[in-house]
Amino acid sequence: MSEDTALKLNGKLWIELNGSKLVGPGRVELLERIRDCGSIRQAALQMNMSYRQAWQMIEDMNTRLDAPVVISQRGGKGGGNAVVTEKGEMVIVEFKSFYKKFQQFLSKHSGSINL
Amino acid sequence: MSEDTALKLNGKLWIELNGSKLVGPGRVELLERIRDCGSIRQAALQMNMSYRQAWQMIEDMNTRLDAPVVISQRGGKGGGNAVVTEKGEMVIVEFKSFYKKFQQFLSKHSGSINL
DNA sequence: ATTCGTTATTCATTTCTGTATATAACGAAT
DNA sequence: ATTCGTTATATACAGAAATGAATAACGAAT
């Protein structure tokens, strides 16, 4: 019954394109929030992230994939808006599938650390 | 037959103690090299790492685990030496076991990215 | 034309990480 | 006692990465 909760297995997971990070948990959460509130700024605020960083993440995915994950407009009603595309939805679904399996992997092996 | 080798799943894995990193691939490689050459400095040189960083890694593991992973001596024949303890061997074996499974996880799922 | 809130972009600042450097401590061998 | 290469430790420096602030661009609505 030796339960050592202090020792655990942990890690990070991401999808990379041409050797550098493209999608991780943070970017996926950002996409989900943009989808739900229609604004990059509001999504960033919700995540306590700077707008600058959020915009850079979106811009990075938009330019490196063959189709944009978010289409945004400035000006107009509400000052502007942002919409997650079908490609963006694919990114969300695909990564979350991998990530769930990864978390299962971690918790599956986390109990058997013997140090 | 669309083989998109540019897109791949990647990640990092580590063992953490009380919420902060304790063992990762770099530290394990360091331990293995110390075991093989008997010197923290030489091991660090082999890995193109500063001695300071290598020493800090060892010191961190030594102080946070209930037994040291490396026992070192200064002075004497050769100027000093470093020996990997039984605990250190356990760290190496245990982490490498997890890490191998992790790499299998990555390569297993890496082929099915569809973006 | 003015207002409004957001998108888009730049610049300076700060924070973090690791490096380089220098120095002391050490003990066996000579 | 001197030499030698390593361990151990502190300080200063450099580059990268994240942050914050400031500003321009935009278009619908009034």
- DSSP-assigned letters across all residues of A21-51: EEE-HHHHHHHHHHHHHS-HHHHHHHTT--H
- Output phi, psi for B20, to 5 deg: -130, 155
Whether the CA torsion B41, B44, B45, B46 is positive or negative: it is: positive
pLDDT score at B75: 96
- pLDDT tens digits for range B4-16: 578 999 999 999 9
- pLDDT tens digits for range B38-51: 999 999 999 999 99
pLDDT score at B2: 46
Q: Tell which of B10, B99, B101, B106 to mutate to test the A interface (max A CBs under 10 Å).
A: B10
Within an 8 Å CB–CB cutoff, is residue A2 touching chain B? no
Supply the DSSP symbol for A76. Answer: S
- DSSP-assigned letters across all residues of B25-90: HHHHHHHHHHHHHS-HHHHHHHTT--HHHHHHHHHHHHHHSSS-SEEEEESSGGGEEEEE-HHHHH
CB contacts, 8 Å: A11 with chain B = 11-14, 102
pLDDT score at A62: 96
CB contacts, 8 Å: B20 with chain A = none
Tens place of pLDDT per residue across chain A (115 aa): 545 578 999 999 999 999 899 999 999 999 999 999 999 999 999 999 999 999 999 999 999 999 999 999 999 999 999 999 999 999 999 999 999 999 999 999 999 999 9
Within an 8 Å CB–CB cutoff, is residue A36 touching chain B? no
A77 min Cα distance to partner chain B (Å): 32
Within an 8 Å CB–CB cutoff, is residue B5 touching chain A? no
B13 min Cα distance to partner chain A (Å): 4
- pLDDT tens digits for range B17-73: 998 999 999 999 999 999 999 999 999 999 999 999 999 999 999 999 999 999 999
Question: Can you tell me whether residue B9 is helix, strand or coil?
Answer: strand
Within an 8 Å CB–CB cutoff, is residue B83 touching chain A? no
Q: Measured from the CB, is B55 under 7 Å from any atom of strand D?
A: yes
Domains of chain A: 23-106 (1.10.10.10)
Phi/psi region, residue B76 (left: phi>0; alpha: psi -120 to 50; beta: rest), is left
Q: Rounded distance, CA B14 to CA A110, Å?
A: 11
